[in-house]
Chain A
């Protein structure tokens, strides 16, 4: 299982993501710079969290037009796995690889805390090894995580079982419609999520709840 993590100016979770990927797959990911125009031969590409370009204009907006993004789009169209976490999720919506938008949190404040996530769907290539309906701990850290899409898009996401994760038991930190924390594209090979599973994979981080997600996503690739 081979993966790559793309670093943008202002990314800050790329090392956390690389640590989690290496810990769970045993293979060190390749680091890719945003100004590169080609991706290495890998199975999974990750857009990590952070504040690319200082969140100027809109979160993820400038990064979504970075030189590497054409290669990411081709990679996704070939059916390979693309994961965007936090700022990476914002980039995927800005790039049009996922529907909707991440708006300012309803409470207006930056939220940095732990939430409970429900694995709401296992009908995609990332969560198919997880337990549907299971609730697990996961950290969030964002200012623009309020998922919005028009009613038709929300209906399509729900009908097609594309809501991978929901905030559970009243822990929605940002006002997202239907408690949406993560969604996939139609083919199920592109996933965007606001919470940070990479920040709960080692007992030193306070728990290992995030491991099941990586083990599921990576086992699909290895198979």
Chain B
């Protein structure tokens, strides 16, 4: 089973990298960009067919390592 975990910064947390990308896009002439926030994507392959179990395990992985829940949110998607 394949899953995709998306980790994003919580709102209110300053994202200097996103700001720099915003500046880069503006420099390229993309005038309509209001804001950019940078995150991370993890594609995880699990050796189970049980989606419920997989989601629970992925949530545990996020809490323990993939995300820092002080500053980040995570979303889990079975693909």
Contact = CB atoms under 8 A, between A and B. Distances in A.
Contact of A175 (B14, B17, B70, B71): B14
B70 A103 contact: no
A149 B70 contact: yes
Contacts of A106: 14, 16
B17 to A, nearest CB: 6
Interface string B30-47: 000000000000000000
Interface in B45-79: 64-66, 68, 70-71
B16 A105 contact: yes
Contacts of A94: 68
Interface residues of B, number: 12
Interface stretch (A28-36, A57-65, A205-213, A215-223): A57-65
A146 B16 contact: yes
Contact of B68 (A101, A104, A175): A101
A134 interface: no
A148 B71 contact: yes
A150 to B, nearest CB: 8
